[in-house]
Chains A and B, each alone.
Chain A
Amino acid sequence: MDDFNSETDSDYTSYWRDWFISSRGNEYFCEIDEDYLTDRFNLTGLNTEVQYYQYALDLVTDVFDLDCDDEMRETIEKSARHLYGLVHARYIVTTRGLAKMLEKYKKADFGKCPRVMCKSHPLLPMGQSDNPNVKAVKLYCARCEDIYNPKSSRHSAIDGAYFGTSFHNIIFQVYPALIPTKSYERYTPRIYGFKVHAPATLIRWQHGERDDMRRRLRKLEIESGFKDDEEDLDAGDSEEEEEELEDEAVMEVLQNGQLAAGDPTAQV
């Protein structure tokens, strides 16, 4: 933020926006078109949200020419960043904005899902509220459909309202081809190859919920979107059986291993 040079703003190029989106920590933002910013309709209601609204808007659109002291200048810059964020939330659900964010998504500019089973699926920024100053930005993974905290503290300070609660869901309605294939793959806690009982019970319950959902979808003839969906629900818990078989294999390996390697559990 400090390296913004106020001397440059007499020129009529998108200096401020260029500077803003290329600043460290602002990697999640795309550049809002000049046309969008100058159409007052798009900014409806924001004048009451942003202090020194007009000056802030002038700064964002590079027409700021107020002669003021540094303190005032800093206040207006802060307002300009806030204004940009609030307009950003609206812009990224427009056709142009969605397309720009899609490009960033494809480049994984928003990071990758930390969940191991998601295999580095790219994330999308989102807010848990559309109101500013409520919650910081989070990252949505369309593969596991969960939200994560940004790794870096410079991102975790960004207001979630600058991305909003809808954008990351709208993008998949507009570009359904982007919806990732879902997977049943999951982690099962084990001790020396054996499932731990209480979590295993919960996991079985979750799989029951999942199969209920699949039955509902099938009844409605809606694609479930799972890569492993050919599996027949009526065939009983075929998947569970597979899992059990797999367990047996694990146990065999373990027993062989124990014969060869001794039993470290004796230390417990």
Chain B
Amino acid sequence: MSSSSGTPESWISSFCSLLGHEYFAEISEDFIEDDFNLTGLQTQVAMYKEALEMILDVEPEEEDDDEEEEEDEGDESIEGEGRTIRRAAIERRHNRMDSNLSIIESSAEMLYGLIHQRFICSRAGIQQMSEKYELGHFGVCPRTFCDGVRTLPVGLSDVPGEDTVKLFCPSCLDVYVPPNSRFQTVDGAFFGRTFGALFLLTFPDYDISKKGPDSLGAHGSRNAITSASDADDKEKINGFNVNNLAPGLGRGKVYEPKIYGFKVSERARSGPRMKWLRDRPVDLIELDEATIFGAVEESEDDAGNLNGARTQPRQTLGASKKGRKPNGGSPMSIDANEQQFAG
């Protein structure tokens, strides 16, 4: 799973094996050692340097060794950061020894979480999370009509301390509270708002309607990814694999309230009001048209990705269901800045 650059006893792997930390990926040391990835985090946690050292299992050096170490470490992997770490090492060694240890420990956890939010949106991180997804580490959707499809851990905020981790179901596009209370102490910001949607964008050819536990024995874990070559033949709507656009919604998957076999009418005071939330057009082509229609009102924002739909005559959308869309392999385009994420 991880790049295994650390020993099995590393701080990172012990953090990830704690009860309740099952959703976390093991951030590679390479990622943490690249200063660019940590930009802006210095001011977010107390005792940043100590926390970072703890995460990387860097013991504050002895005073004597300090000068030599500093020279040796002058390579580009740690750069200036490494020197600064060493320079303040003695002071921090004292810090570690007294009651500050618990502060450093909690700072390290916070720092790890904040880096984690970024890591799982990187190529290596999202790959690792996809392996965890394949293994069903994130649980399944509690919604009956979603039929046990796998979920993804997400945050509703990118700011720590606001909310706990939630589970995003790609099949019904909704978010749920993890069933086990041990996850209700895990900060949602450590997963962030972007990861869930970015995952779908990055792995367009996962069969997201596949059941969690079932799929494990029957299919090799690589199946979903290697089938990517077939993807071009699949039906697409707005450049999105039809099979993957909320397959848990729509006809037959919307709860229909009944009393003694008779549907409860919408006109009743207690009649259904929320069907729209679980509905989906029978023919997803309608959504293409909706896009074209919507283009009139929302031309400003969506101009970028509507171009594809606009330049193509409407009839072709219906006629060439199997045709590849101009935006190519991108499973979803995202509003306003799609180039960054396409492909």
Q: Is the CB of A213 within 8 A of B142?
A: no
Q: How far is the CA of A205 from the CA of B175 in the complex (A)?
A: 19
Nearest B residue to A145 via CB reads B274
In the assembly, what is the distance between CA of A97 and CA of B332, in Å?
Answer: 50
Q: Does A10 contact B (CB under 8 A)?
A: no
Q: How near does chain A come to B169, taking the closest CB pair, in angstroms?
A: 9
**Which residues of A lie under 8 Å from residue B275 when comparing CB positions?**
145, 209, 213
Measured CA separation A147–B153 after assembly (Å): 21
Q: Are B40 and A195 neighbours in the complex by a CB distance under 8 Å?
A: no
**Interface residue ranges of B243-274 to A (CB < 8 Å):** 245-246, 249, 255, 257-261, 264, 266-270, 272-274
Of A1-9, A47-55, A184-192, the one with at least 4 CB within 8 A of chain B: A184-192
- Cross-chain contact of A217 among B197, B249, B266 (Cβ < 8 A): B266
* B332, A197: Cβ atoms closer than 8 Å: yes
Please determine whether A213 and B266 come into contact, CB atoms closer than 8 angstroms.
yes
Q: Is the CB of A202 within 8 A of B122?
A: no
Q: Establish whether residues B200 and A196, one from each chain, have CB atoms under 8 Å apart when the complex forms.
A: yes
Q: State in angstroms the CA–CA spacing of A91 and B69 once bound together.
A: 79
Neighbouring A residues of B301 by C-beta, 8 Å: 244, 247
Binary interface encoding of chain A residues 208-222 relative to chain B, with 1 for a CB under 8 A from any of its CBs, else 0: 111001001100101
Residue B216 at the chain A interface, CB threshold 8 Å? no
**Mask: chain B, 65-91; 1 = CB below 8 Å from A; 0 = not:** 000000000000000000000000000
Chain B positions within 8 Å of A235 at CB level: none
Stretch at the interface among B8-16, B51-59, B222-230, B233-241: B233-241
Of all chain B residues, which has the CB nearest A206? B276
Q: When the two chains form their complex, are residues A170 and B259 in contact, meaning their CB atoms are under 8 A apart?
A: yes
Verify if B106 is at the interface (C-beta below 8 Å from A). Answer: no
- Asked if B156 contacts A189 (CB within 8 A), the reply is no
Query: Once the chains bind, are B143 and A116 in contact (CB under 8 Å)?
Result: no
User: Which of B97-105, B286-294, B315-323 lines the interface with chain A?
Assistant: B286-294
Instruction: Please tell me the number of chain B residues within 8 Å of chain A, measured between CB atoms.
Output: 83
- Evaluate contact between A115 and B258: CB separation under 8 angstroms: no
Given A187-B168, A220-B267, also A207-B276 (CB < 8 A)? yes
> In this complex, what residue of A is CB-closest to B197?
A189
Contact of A23 with B by CB under 8 A:
no
What is the bound-complex CA distance between A206 and B286, given in angstroms?
12
Q: How far is the CB of A115 from chain B (nearest CB, A)?
A: 6
The interface centre, meaning the residue of B269, B274, B280 with most chain A CB atoms within 10 A of its CB, is: B274
Structural contact, A205 and B173, CB atoms closer than 8 A: no
* Min CB–CB distance A259 → chain B (angstroms): 9
0/1 string, B30-59, CB within 8 A of A gives 1: 010000110111000000000000000000
Answer yes or no: A224 CB below 8 A from chain B CBs.
Answer: yes
Chain A, residue nearest B271 (CB): A222
Measured in the bound complex, the distance between the Cα atoms of B302 and A120 in whole Å is 35
1/0 contact trace for B311-343 toward A, CB 8 Å? 000000000000000000001111111101100
B121 within 8 A of A: yes
Answer whether residue B198 sits at the interface, using C-beta atoms and an 8 A cutoff.
yes
Total A-B pairs, Cβ < 8 A: 215
Given the interface contacts A116-B177, A166-B260, A195-B335, does A267 sit within 8 Å of B118 by beta carbon? yes
- Which stretch (A14-22, A69-77, A171-179) binds chain B? A171-179
Contact yes or no, A145 B173, CB < 8 A? no
CB < 8 Å neighbour of A202 from B173, B197, B260, B341: B173
Given B36, B142, B341, which contacts A268 in the complex, CB threshold below 8 Å?
B341
Return A185 CB to nearest CB of chain B, in Å.
10
- In the complex, what residues of A have CB within 8 A of residue B245's CB? 198-199, 202
- A124 to nearest B CB, angstroms? 12
Q: What are the residues of chain B within 8 A of A244 when measuring CB–CB?
A: 298, 301
A210 and B276 contacting across the interface, CB-CB below 8 Å: yes
A contact residues around B198 at 8 Å (CB): 191, 268
B244: nearest residue on chain A (CB-CB)? A198
Q: Digit string of A112-151 for contact with B (CB within 8 Å is 1, else 0)?
A: 0011110010000000100000000010100111111101
A94 within 8 A of B: no
**Residues of the B chain whose Cβ atoms lie less than 8 Å from the Cβ of A216:** 266
Is A45 at the interface (CB under 8 A from chain B)?
A: no
| A66 lies within 8 A of chain B by Cβ | no
A100 touches B (CB below 8 Å): no
A30 to B161 alpha-carbon distance, docked (Å): 40
19 further A-B contacts with Cβ under 8 Å, apart from A146-B277, A173-B270, A199-B173, are A117-B175, A146-B274, A146-B278, A147-B143, A149-B144, A169-B258, A176-B270, A187-B173, A189-B196, A191-B197, A191-B198, A192-B337, A196-B332, A198-B333, A206-B276, A213-B275, A264-B122, A265-B121, A268-B202
* 27 A-B pairs (CB sep. < 8 Å): A114-B179, A115-B143, A116-B166, A116-B176, A138-B144, A146-B145, A146-B255, A149-B142, A176-B269, A179-B269, A190-B194, A190-B197, A194-B335, A195-B334, A196-B197, A197-B305, A197-B334, A199-B173, A199-B246, A202-B245, A202-B287, A205-B286, A210-B276, A244-B301, A265-B121, A267-B122, A268-B126
Chain A residues with a Cβ under 8 A of chain B: 114-117, 120, 128, 138, 140, 143-149, 151, 165-166, 169-170, 172-173, 176, 179, 182, 186-187, 189-210, 213, 216-217, 220, 222-226, 237, 244, 247, 251, 257, 260-262, 264-268
Closest 9 CB pairs of A and B: A261-B40, A267-B122, A262-B39, A198-B240, A189-B197, A210-B276, A172-B270, A145-B274, A209-B276
